[in-house]
Structure 1
Amino acid sequence: MVTVSSFQAEEQRRSIAACFARTGLTVGQLWLRYFALGGDVSEAELEEFLQGLLPLPGIQRDMVAHAVNERLDEISDVRRAPYSRDAGEDIRPRGPLAALVGLLDGAHRVAPERLPEVIATAGRALGLRIAVYLADYDQRRLIPFPEHAPGRVPLAIETGVAGQAYRRAGTMLAEDSAGPRLWTTLLDGDERMGVLEVEADVDTDLSDPALRTQCHWLASLSGHLIAAAMRYGDGLDMTRRQRRRGPTAELLWQHLPPLTAATRDVVVAGGIEPAYDVRGVTFDYALSETTAWLAIFDAGRDTGAASLAVSAALAAYRSARREGQGLHGQESAVDKALSSRFGAGATVRGTLAEVDLTHGSLHHLEAGGEAPLVLGSGREPATVDSARRSPFGAGTPGRISTARLRPGDLLALHTEGLSDARSADGARFSLAGCLDANAGQVPPEIARRVLQAAKSHCHNTFTGDAGLLLAHWPGMP
């Protein structure tokens, strides 16, 4: 290594400071880039260095220079900050911290369609090659993003290692003629967005538990960024949708909460079908440390105003719930919203529920909706006792029913369109049997499999919209 005199070090500092002034970055933004490279001085110390008040070792000066030069490369081809060593030597540190911080920094204000490049760059900090696949809205295929990436094709969720990783919401190692690769699930919290394909050089052991953990971190942060980007750009969403979605379905999908969410004490997961032609079904939930609030609404498919009615019911329910009102208050709010907006005769069927996460107490109210099903370990799915009232909008108060969940129970709220899906010969879909057959899966995979099974049973010709909302209560530790 070349030894640098104090004079040369000061000349380098002056040049770095002058170049930094042309970057348009704040000291905080420069520090974030420097930190992602492995720098270990504080933001205040970096500012003192730039002002000539604090000397830094050569390696730290070079990291600052590299952070400055990366920014200059982005904005122009101006004079670059000098290094204290051979400019051809790679000084960028590698590792999980550099990858995660680099991912955050690279995603700041980036266009959504450029996120795969940002994720790939973060992967290179771990010595990995990474590609992004997004799940389509039918949850049948994993679509490469960008969709026409060379050498990449859509993959089936039901088969293959990539699909297995998605189904299990985990990480799987594939060995094939192209070499080993990892498939790890893209997660926004607990919602599955797709998978990452991870490849490495021959001297990297993809079965290393530490590397798998790093890939999981990267996939989780990438999933958060992708979900956030979908709120302000259409490129990611256009990849996920494989056919046209009409205005009615568009409205209802925009009102849905994430299809999966979890706390330490409960996991919820749901879905609606037909995914591209849903007309009158929606669901909602809210989670806290002590309570899970659940709701599902069904306005039918036969009227043009079904989507507006079910959206009004959803909005009234959310408003009442967020004001702290209980089930009767929520029920009254939905009744009033429907009668005042649509007049007499506008009704929406539905079920409201609250689960006490400390003791497993279930309180529920059915307004023309289907009574919840409960599936527990070692016993058949059972419909809980209920006292159904007329649908929302009729203005007839209902009675709240109660039940007690056991640790490990799975609670299922559903619409008639799901349980009444029929085959060509008129046979009804067995919702209870399908839930029981898939009881060993994680809740979002149970929801996916049940809806896929119902779709196959009726050959995707639902007479009513199918809605499903699951809540798994593991019980208090």
Structure 2
Amino acid sequence: MRFLPEDEQQRQLAVCFARSELTPEQLWMRYFALGGSQGLVELDAYLNGLTTLPRVDRDMMAHAVNERLDELAAPPRAPYSHSFRDGKPLHGPLKALVDLLEGAHRAPPERLPAVAAEAGRALDLRIGIYLADYDQRTLVPLRAEAAAEQDIETTVAGDVFRRAGTAVTRDGPDPTLWTVLLDGVERLGVLEIVPTDGADPDDPVLREQCRWLATLLGHLVTITTQYGDGLDVRRRRRHRGSPAELLWQSLPPLTGATESVVVGGSVQPAYDLCGVAFDYALSERRARLAMFDAGPRTGAASYAVVNALAAYRAARRDGASLGEQYTAVGRALAGSDAVVTGVVAELDLRTGALRWLDAGNPVPLVVRDGAALPDPRPAAARFAAGEGPPRANEVRLQPGDVLALYSRGLAETTGGDGTPFGRDRVAGYLADETLPPETARLLTRAVVAHAEGELEFDAGVLVASWAPR
């Protein structure tokens, strides 16, 4: 390996720095972000030829200047201290991943489809992104001019979303691979992938490469949504009121999982949510679960239920016991006009021991071998600030059991003939062997259909399946 003389590297670096239009302070910030340890004074002295720096610091400065020159599209670049082959791949899976990472750097959310398209070209693929709307009824293309919406219940793309799987269609001009778009385990939508080099979409190597691409792209969708509205706007099918906006911002991801447990949640009406929220926290040893319900859809309901959720999270994250979490919620709700009911629970992922405390909410429902376990003792009346928590209920789960925490509106919603949806019907949906997030989605959709679209109370459910290693 040949090394460039330090004085020559310093001279060329100073020239490129002047061309970069950076101030010394801006250069130092970029250098520091790369891991540099020298101060601003040392960098300025080096650029003026007054001191020397270790090779690693010189190369980090050169890299910081080159990043800026890349933004300006203004070669030549600042030299490094040694010569080496170009490390950036020219084609293939690694180039696709690098293109995604570099393209998404400082990119606004609405640029993500173009970034994905560029990454796809490295694999000779044409990529389209579809995201599920917040009602989880439709898959919406991020490029509206390029494709039609896909119904989740009736299309191949929708089937891929429901199963969190893949499928190949050959009824168009080119064979197409459809694959679920995940952030971790949360379903965000699907990818439409068309090989442009005649490759077979059933090729297992190609499918594995597409899985890598979909995994990273799913993370980027979630990250970019947090600092811009471009993707969020595409997922909305109609106006969302301020109570619903507040509650959606407070909810955790609709799906979470570890090696021992999978949880999935759903709430309705998605765009007019008013007073229901769920929460969970997963670790190696425990799954902590909660459901809060403020009852009738009033203006104060959303603030009360968010207050309960915040108090629960604060206590849980402080390491509070289940009883202390329950009491913390009661203290937070003291003086509130809205009556918030709920349940807080924890599942030991090693033994299957489920403990919970309830307050006016339907008790957790456990389905084993297709049938619901008998109801335990009645729930307590409500969260209370000045009283100690009630005695905790406990049941021992078996591998494969399905557990649900749900709001009153889920089972008590009545149809046109006055018949409530009912706990037995809830148990029937839990008995179907589907993924917890899909069970939750189907269950809340069924409640909306039962009410003929007119919900008097919000419907929320959190489904968990325990399968120890």
TM-score w.r.t. the length of structure 2 is 0.83
- Report the equivalent of 2:203: 208
- Report the equivalent of 1:37: none
State the distance in 1 between where 2:427 and 2:204 align.
Answer: 33
- Report the equivalent of 1:417: 409
The match for 1:379 among 370, 382, 387 is: 370
CA contact 2:276–2:293 (8 Å) conserved in 1: yes
Kindly tell me: are residues 440 and 47 of structure 1, through their superposed partners in 2, closer, same or farther at Cα, counting changes over 3 Å?
A: farther
CA contact 1:145–1:239 (8 Å) conserved in 2: yes
- Report the equivalent of 1:114: 111
CA contact 2:137–2:152 (8 Å) conserved in 1: yes
1:131 aligns with 2:124: no
State the distance in 1 between where 2:463 and 2:244 align.
Answer: 21
1:160 aligns with 2:155: yes
Kindly tell me: are residues 437 and 298 of structure 1, through their superposed partners in 2, closer, same or farther at Cα, counting changes over 3 Å?
A: closer
The 5 A counterparts of 1:159-198 are 159-198=154-193
Once the two structures are superposed, residues 315-352 of structure 1 have per-residue CA deviations (whole angstroms, 9 ceiling, x without a partner) of 1111111111112101111111111x53xx64211011
TM-score w.r.t. the length of structure 1 is 0.81
**Structure 1 portions without partners, runs of 5+:** 1-10, 31-43, 52-63, 82-90
State the distance in 2 between where 1:73 and 1:176 align.
Answer: 43
1:458 aligns with 2:455: no
- Residue 301 of structure 1: how far off its partner (Å): 2.5
Amino acid at match of 2:301: A
The match for 1:246 among 241, 249, 258 is: 241
CA contact 1:435–1:446 (8 Å) conserved in 2: no
**Structure 2 portions without partners, runs of 5+:** 1-7, 35-54, 78-87
State the distance in 1 between where 2:429 and 2:59 align.
Answer: 64
CA contact 1:17–1:50 (8 Å) conserved in 2: no
The match for 2:380 among 389, 402, 407 is: 389
- Residue 394 of structure 1: how far off its partner (Å): 6.5
Kindly tell me: are residues 457 and 387 of structure 1, through their superposed partners in 2, closer, same or farther at Cα, counting changes over 3 Å?
A: closer
Kindly tell me: are residues 454 and 448 of structure 1, through their superposed partners in 2, closer, same or farther at Cα, counting changes over 3 Å?
A: same
State the distance in 1 between where 2:267 and 2:315 align.
Answer: 24
- Residue 427 of structure 1: how far off its partner (Å): 2.0
State the distance in 2 between where 1:180 and 1:435 align.
Answer: 40
State the distance in 1 between where 2:380 and 2:89 align.
Answer: 66
- Residue 416 of structure 1: how far off its partner (Å): 1.0
SS in 2 for 1:177: coil
Amino acid at match of 1:389: A
SS in 1 for 2:216: helix
CA contact 1:267–1:443 (8 Å) conserved in 2: yes
CA contact 1:434–1:450 (8 Å) conserved in 2: yes
1:354 aligns with 2:350: no
Amino acid at match of 1:428: P
Once the two structures are superposed, residues 342-378 of structure 1 have per-residue CA deviations (whole angstroms, 9 ceiling, x without a partner) of 3xx64211011110000000101110000111122x3
Amino acid at match of 1:331: Y
- Report the equivalent of 1:310: 305
State the distance in 2 between where 1:404 and 1:267 align.
Answer: 17
SS in 2 for 1:454: helix
- Report the equivalent of 1:99: 96
Amino acid at match of 1:260: T
- Report the equivalent of 2:4: none
Tell which deviates more after alignment, 253-262 or 455-464.
455-464
CA contact 1:183–1:197 (8 Å) conserved in 2: yes
State the distance in 2 between where 1:161 and 1:325 align.
Answer: 46
CA contact 1:113–1:235 (8 Å) conserved in 2: yes
